[in-house]
Amino acid sequence: MKTYENESTVDVVVIGTGAGAAPVLAKLAEAGLSVVALEAGRWWDPAKEFSADEVAMGDLYWLGERISAGETPTAFGGNNSGTGVGGSMLHWGAFVPRADPRDLKLRTDTGLGEDFPLSYEDLLPYYEEVERFLGVAGPAVYPWDAQRRYPLRPIALNAPAIVMRKGYEAIGVRTSEAPIAAVSEPYTQPGYPTRQPCVGCGFCHQGCVFNGAKASMDVTYLPRALAAGVEIRPHSFVHSFERNDRGDLTAVIYRNGEADLRQRCKAVFLCAGAVETPRLLLHAGLANSSGQVGRNFMAHVATQVWGTFPEEMRMNKGFPASLISEDTLRPKDADFAAGYLTQSLGVVPVTFARQVARGRGLWGQSLVDYLDRYNHLAGVGANGDCLPYPGNFLELSDEVDALGVPKPRINFSYGENEQRMSEHSAKMMTAAWKAAGATDIWTFERSAHTIGTCRMGVRPADSVVDPWGRSHDLPNLWISDNSTFPAALAANPALTIMALALRSADRFLEVNR
Amino acid sequence: MFEQNDRRRTLHGVEEGTGPGPVLVLMHFLGGSTREWDEVVPLLGHQVRTLRLDLPGFGDSAAVPGYSVESMADLVDTTLRAADLDRFFLVGHSMSGKVAMVLARRFEDAGDSRLLGMVLVAPSPPSPEPIPADKRSSMIEALGSEREGDWHRARNYITKNEERDIPSPVVERAVSEVLKMNRAAWLAWLTDGSKEDWSERVGILRLPVLVIAGELDRSLGPDQQKAVTLPHLGNAHLAIVAGCSHLIPIERPEQMAALLSKFTQDLLSSDRPTIPTEYLDLIASDRLSSQTREVLEERMRGPQWASGFLTANQERTLRAAAMRIIPQSASHPIDLAGFVIATLASGKGNGWRYAVLPADLTAYRQGLDWLAAQNFANLSPEQQDACLRELSRVPGSPSARWFEELRGDLTDAYMAHPATLARIGYSGIGVGGAHTPHQGFVLLEPNQQEAWEPAPHPEASSTS
Ligand SMILES: Cc1cc2nc3c(=O)[nH]c(=O)nc-3n(C[C@H](O)[C@H](O)[C@H](O)COP(=O)(O)OP(=O)(O)OC[C@H]3O[C@@H](n4cnc5c(N)ncnc54)[C@H](O)[C@@H]3O)c2cc1C
Ligand code: SF4
Return the CATH number at A339: 3.50.50.60
Could you tell me if residue B162 is inside a domain?
A: yes
Q: Which of B120, B112, B376 is nearest to B260 (CA)?
A: B120
Q: Do B289 and A52 touch (CB under 8 A)?
A: yes
Three-class SS of residue A263?
A: strand
Using CB atoms and an 8 Å cut-off, which of residues 2-41 of chain B contact chain A?
A: none
Q: Which of B204, B234, B269 is the last residue of a domain?
A: B269
Could you tell me if residue B195 is inside a domain?
A: yes
Instruction: Using the atom order of ligand 1, give the atom closest to the CA of residue A495.
Output: 11
Chain A CB within 8 Å of residue B287 CB: no
- Please list every residue in chain A whose beta carbon sits closer than 8 Å to the beta carbon of residue B400: none
Q: Is pLDDT above 70 for B194?
A: yes
Expressed as residue numbers, the domain containing B438 is 277-460
Could you tell me if residue A67 is inside a domain?
A: no
Chain A CB within 8 Å of residue B362 CB: no
State mean pLDDT over B317-331: 93
Q: Which of A216, A207, A194, A269 is nearest to A238 (CA)?
A: A269
Could you tell me if residue A241 is inside a domain?
A: yes
What phi and psi, each to the nearest 5 degrees, are found at residue B14? -125, 120
Distance B438 CA to ligand 2 centre (A): 14
**Kind plus residue range of the DSSP H or E element containing B9:** none
Shortest-distance Cα residue to atom 8 of ligand 2: A208
Amino acid symbol at A296: N
Q: Could you tell me if B238 and B255 lie in one domain?
A: yes
Q: Do B292 and A76 touch (CB under 8 A)?
A: no
> Which residues, in sequence order, are CB contacts of B353 under 8 Å at separation 6+?
A65, A66, A67, A68, B359, B360, B363, B405
Using CB atoms and an 8 Å cut-off, which of residues 404-433 of chain A contact chain B?
A: 409
State mean pLDDT over A447-469: 98
Q: Could you tell me if B204 and B345 lie in one domain?
A: no
DSSP string, A123-189: HHHHHHHHHHHHT-B--SSBTTBTT---SBPPPPP-HHHHHHHHHHHHHT---EEPPBSB-SS-EEE
Question: How many angstroms separate the CA atoms of A210 and A207, rounded?
Answer: 9
Q: Could you tell me if B290 and B255 lie in one domain?
A: no
Could you tell me if residue B4 is inside a domain?
A: no
Shortest-distance Cα residue to atom 35 of ligand 1: A16
Q: Do B351 and A64 touch (CB under 8 A)?
A: yes
Question: How many angstroms separate the CA atoms of B55 and B46, rounded?
Answer: 24
pLDDT tier at B463, thresholds 50, 70, 90? very low
Does B160 or B28 have the greater pLDDT score? B28
Question: How many angstroms separate the CA atoms of A211 and A265, rounded?
Answer: 35
Q: Is pLDDT above 90 for A189?
A: no
State mean pLDDT over B353-357: 97
Could you tell me if residue B2 is inside a domain?
A: no
Chain A CB within 8 Å of residue B384 CB: no
The domain total for chain B is 2
Alpha-carbon B372 to chain mean position: 27
Sign of the C-alpha dihedral computed for residues A191, A196, A200 and A201 taken in this order: negative
Q: Is pLDDT above 90 for B2?
A: no
Q: Could you tell me if B305 and B454 lie in one domain?
A: yes
Three-class SS of residue B181?
A: coil
Q: Do A52 and B350 touch (CB under 8 A)?
A: no
Mutate to test the pocket of ligand 2, among A54, A204, A219 (most ligand atoms within 8 A of CB): A204
Distance A501 CA to ligand 2 centre (A): 25
Could you tell me if residue B328 is inside a domain?
A: yes
Question: How many angstroms separate the CA atoms of B240 and B67, rounded?
Answer: 30
Could you tell me if residue A353 is inside a domain?
A: yes
Quick one: pLDDT at residue B20? Answer: 73
Query: How do residues B357-405 score in pLDDT, each as one tens digit?
Result: 999 999 999 999 999 999 999 999 999 999 999 999 999 999 999 999 9
DSSP string, B326-383: S---SSS---HHHHHHHHHHHT---SEEETTS--HHHHHHHHHHHHHHTTGGGS-HHH
Q: Could you tell me if B101 and B177 lie in one domain?
A: yes
Chain B CB within 8 Å of residue A7 CB: no
Pocket, ligand 2, Cβ cutoff 6 A = A 182, 198-204, 208, 210, 213-214, 319; B 440
Query: How do residues A43-66 score in pLDDT, each as one tens digit?
Result: 999 999 999 999 999 999 999 999
Q: Could you tell me if B257 and B285 lie in one domain?
A: no
Q: Could you tell me if B196 and B128 lie in one domain?
A: yes
What order do you get walking across the sheet with B115-121 strand by strand? B13-16, B49-53, B23-26, B88-93, B115-121, B209-214, B236-241, B305-307
The domain total for chain A is 1
Chain A: give the shortest CA distance to residue B377, in Å: 16
Q: Could you tell me if B84 and B163 lie in one domain?
A: yes
Question: Is residue A406 a contact partner of residue A396, using CB atoms and an 8 Å limit?
Answer: yes
pLDDT tier at B464, thresholds 50, 70, 90? very low
Using a pLDDT cut of 70, give the percent of chain A over it.
100
Quick one: pLDDT at residue B235? Answer: 86
Determine if ligand 1 sits within 6 Å of the CB of residue A83.
yes
Q: Is pLDDT above 60 for B3?
A: no
Q: Which of A177, A119, A173 is nearest to A150 (CA)?
A: A177
Query: How do residues B89-128 score in pLDDT, each as one tens digit?
Result: 999 999 999 999 999 999 989 888 889 999 999 999 999 9
Could you tell me if residue A450 is inside a domain?
A: yes
CATH number of residue B124's parent domain? 3.40.50.1820
DSSP B218: T
Q: Which of B269, B285, B304 is the last residue of a domain?
A: B269
Question: Is residue B337 a contact partner of residue B320, using CB atoms and an 8 Å limit?
Answer: no
Could you tell me if residue B448 is inside a domain?
A: yes
pLDDT tier at B343, thresholds 50, 70, 90? very high
Q: How many residues does chain A have?
A: 513
Could you tell me if residue A77 is inside a domain?
A: yes
Q: Which of B248, B269, B290 is the last residue of a domain?
A: B269
Chain A CB within 8 Å of residue B442 CB: yes
Tell me which chain A residue has its CA closest to the CA of residue B457. Answer: A372
What phi and psi, each to the nearest 5 degrees, are found at residue A94? 60, 30
Distance A462 CA to ligand 1 centre (A): 25
Question: Is residue B328 a contact partner of residue B461, using CB atoms and an 8 Å limit?
Answer: yes
Q: Could you tell me if B308 and B420 lie in one domain?
A: yes
Question: Is residue B84 a contact partner of residue B210, using CB atoms and an 8 Å limit?
Answer: no
Instruction: Using the atom order of ligand 1, give the atom closest to the CA of residue A38.
Output: 43
Could you tell me if residue A446 is inside a domain?
A: yes
Question: How many angstroms separate the CA atoms of A216 and A497, rounded?
Answer: 14
Beta bridge partners, A182, equal A214
Q: Could you tell me if B312 and B227 lie in one domain?
A: no
Chain B: give the shortest CA distance to residue A364, in Å: 4
Tell me which chain B residue has its CA closest to the CA of residue A162. Answer: B445
Q: Could you tell me if B427 and B381 lie in one domain?
A: yes
Quick one: pLDDT at residue A304? Answer: 98
Q: Is pLDDT above 60 for B4?
A: no
Q: Could you tell me if B245 and B380 lie in one domain?
A: no
Could you tell me if residue A338 is inside a domain?
A: yes
Quick one: pLDDT at residue B237? Answer: 87
Expressed as residue numbers, the domain containing A472 is 10-45+72-511
Question: How many angstroms separate the CA atoms of B311 and B142, rounded?
Answer: 39
- Please list every residue in chain A whose beta carbon sits closer than 8 Å to the beta carbon of residue B393: none
Beta bridge partners, A268, equal A13, A477
Question: Strands A298-301 and B13-16, how do they pair?
Answer: unpaired
Chain A CB within 8 Å of residue B291 CB: yes
Chain B CB within 8 Å of residue A437 CB: no
Could you tell me if residue A52 is inside a domain?
A: no
